[in-house]
A = this chain, B = another copy of it.
């Protein structure tokens, strides 16, 4: 499937021409995903799924390292359960898929397909937790969820998506808050250090909170079109769900207390983030740490004699790279020119390309091209001896370079502003604004109406100070980012 013989020769739309179309062109050309027969649903093809598997591995390791255990809760939630936490229900009820027929019969008890699992997990926690000794309870699940979205986009917003959702229960507010921020930090560490996406950790305004949460935090990233992408969220649910689902524990004094709970999630939307943070007009640029294929070897030969010499060298290099733990592949497709293959693997975003032709075999060298530096500047002839070490080092350089490029682009497109709402409006037409914000509902609604943009977050890391809310002028003690968003 990956690099199948089915090769499309249609060009990818330039980003400057139509960014949306560039995005879907890249996904389809690189065979990451397809549209499914059911509106708004997607098929994740092997290359896209391999990327997801690497994302899963990197996150799961961090979850286990922070004491969480994986479990699995049901897909179906009784309708009345979802209704128990009123705000959560109001938030999600227009988005539910409901099973009304089972085994050929109309069901008495209608079943909702989980849009998120607080209700069913809350119910379980109330059965499992009895004493302070049972806390903290630190659970995660990898699952599919369904939200009846009207406007869908591959990876970014689909009716069904894959994610992980963590759910934890604690004895105190402070422990819950510590966990909420810890997992936000895990997301940021993953995004920055695995996906090479520079994210900002911040707190959502009250209006932008998860329905039913006390406090919601998110990691926010800037995409290639300068729009924001909320790339992961972590919620301190306070005691709201514990009260709705009766999650209690006896404390050291034998008094019954409600737990304080958290939940946090990151989904296949992250793949959209990787595409749009690093992609260029040639296609994808995969961060090496997550790339399904890190090194592609393209053999070059004109006849059988050249072929056998070249393939001998190729096979030896392949074995050595594989033995060094790299994800390497050889493009042995017949009937395609080397030039075609170069473009194809660039389009698919493979970080390093190695070309081996008869002259290279003769010279005991190879041509090595790096995806992050276009044209001749990105290609070198490297001696065969030490080639594997050179490639390993190159992958580390490319990873760092992708992060640096994304960081520079983002920082160049965030504009601090104060006291000038007209200028603020100009800025967020094409970039992010960073400004004092009162956080109020009315203000935010007006800003949204005026600009089709809401606050992204109040960054955790900000200088203390005071100013005037950019919209209403009231005193404000925090700055927030504003941007159009996905």
B-binding residues in A (CB < 8 A):
1-2, 4-6, 34, 36-38, 41-46, 49-50, 52-53, 69-78, 81, 93-104, 109, 111, 113, 120, 123-124, 127-128, 130-131, 133-134, 137, 139, 143-144, 146, 148, 150, 159-160, 162
B46 touches A124 (CB 8 A): no
- New contact pairs (12) apart from A37-B81, A37-B123, A41-B75, CB-CB < 8 Å: A1-B137, A34-B127, A37-B120, A38-B109, A38-B111, A41-B76, A44-B71, A49-B69, A75-B113, A95-B103, A98-B101, A103-B150
A38 partner residues in chain B, CB cutoff 8 A: 74, 76-78, 109, 111
- Inter-chain CA distance A41–B73, complex, in Å, is 9
Given A1-B139, A34-B124, A37-B120, check contact A99 B113 (CB 8 Å): yes
In the complex the two chains form, what is the Cα distance from A139 to B43 in whole Å? 13
Asked if A46 contacts B74 (CB within 8 A), the reply is: no
In the complex, chain B residues whose CB is within 8 Å of the CB of A75: 41, 113, 144, 146, 160
Interchain nearest-CB distance for A75 vs B (Å):
5
Counted per complex, copies of this chain come to 2
Contacts of A113 in B (CB 8 A): 75, 99, 113
For the complex, what is the distance from the CA of A36 to the CA of B121, rounded to whole Å? 10
A73 and B36 in contact (CB under 8 A), knowing A94-B103, A97-B99, A97-B102? Answer: yes
Residues of B within 8 A of A146 (CB): 75-76
23 inter-chain pairs at a CB distance below 8 angstroms, sorted by A residue, are A1-B128, A4-B134, A6-B128, A36-B73, A36-B120, A38-B74, A38-B77, A41-B76, A46-B69, A46-B70, A46-B139, A49-B70, A50-B70, A74-B160, A75-B146, A96-B103, A97-B99, A97-B101, A98-B101, A98-B102, A99-B113, A104-B148, A144-B144
> Is there an interface contact between B71 and A46, defined as CB atoms closer than 8 Å?
yes
CA distance A144 to B162 in the complex (A): 12
